[in-house]
Structure formats: C-alpha cells, structure tokens
Amino acid sequence: MRHRRHSSKLNRTVEHRTALMRNLAGALIDNEIIHTTEAKAKQLKQYVERIITIAKDGVAANDTKGVGLAKRRLAFSYLNNKDAVKKLFGDIAPRFHQRPGGYTRVVKSRPRQGDGAPMAYIEFVDRVVEVKEVEEPKKPARKKKAQPAAQA
C-alpha cells in the first residue's frame, strides 16, 4: 500500500525518475525558468526546494567544522552537476537567505499541442526579468517629388 507516499511515479522506473529530476533541477538552476508538464513541475518543485534549503544551510555555516563542504557534497549528490552546484551556492542560495521557504512557483500554461498534456512553467520566485525596450519603427522618409525643370 502507498499510504503516506507523497511523490508520484510519473510512469517511470526509479532510475529514470531520479535522472529526470536531476536533469530538470540542473536546467532550472541554470536557466531559472523552464517549461515542462504540470506533473513534472509539481514534483520538481519539491525536489528543488529541498536542494535550496541544503544550500542555504551550507552558505550560512561558518565552515569551522566543514559543514559547508558537506552541504555542497550533499547538493552535488542531488544534482550531479558541478556548474549547477556552483551557481546554487554562489548566486541562488544567498538570494533566498531571508526567505523561509517557497523558493519556486508553478505557473500553468496552455496544453501541449500534440497530445493535450497540461503544461506549466516553473521559475524562481525572485527571478530577475530583463525588460528590453522596444524601439518604435522609424517611418520611412518621404521622397520629395522632382521639381519640373525650369523652361528657358
């Protein structure tokens, strides 16, 4: 019986599920927003929030007893990606040092066109969005009509 089991199987084996979560978590940490199915996004939210809490504890530790290194290794065991761990401890965990939880949000989007699967975006709550200024298109200069030549 599956009493008190809160994670869904996503119709995958254990190995496939762990590889999927590692890849999605690494992509989310690198890009700070990803587009995936709603079920995967909900599972990824739990997975990533646990990793960010580990990273926050590692950043807050004053490293006298090697706590920071142990937390870094623990985060690496979840992610299996050195670049993602570096960005997690250097950029993302310090951003969330005041927040007690709820580091990510799942925003539903329209269903996938091919099979109608419910899709969603998952992003960090304090993601910085760069807004590009749109320049108004310039009106083409009017061509002046040629003046008739002066008749002599």
User: Superfamily assignment of 14-124 in CATH?
Assistant: Ribosomal protein L17 (3.90.1030.10)
Where are any strands of DSSP class E within 57-143? 104-108, 119-124
Over residues 65-75, the mean pLDDT reads: 90
Which residues have CB under 8 Å from 17's CB, separation 6+?
9, 10
pLDDT at 64 over 70: no
pLDDT digits 0-9 by tens, 10-38:
999 999 999 999 999 999 999 999 999 99
In this predicted structure, what is the pLDDT of residue 149?
A: 72
pLDDT digits 0-9 by tens, 46-56:
999 999 999 99
Quickly state the pLDDT bin for 8 (edges 50, 70, 90): confident
In this predicted structure, what is the pLDDT of residue 152?
A: 60
In this predicted structure, what is the pLDDT of residue 137?
A: 82
What percent of the chain stands above pLDDT 90?
Answer: 70
Quickly state the pLDDT bin for 130 (edges 50, 70, 90): confident
Domain boundaries, the chain: 14-124
Radius of gyration of the chain (CA): 25
In this predicted structure, what is the pLDDT of residue 147?
A: 75
Q: At what angle do helices 67-79 and 14-31 cross, to 10 degrees?
A: 110
* Nearest Cα to Cα of residue 127 among 103, 107, 110: 103
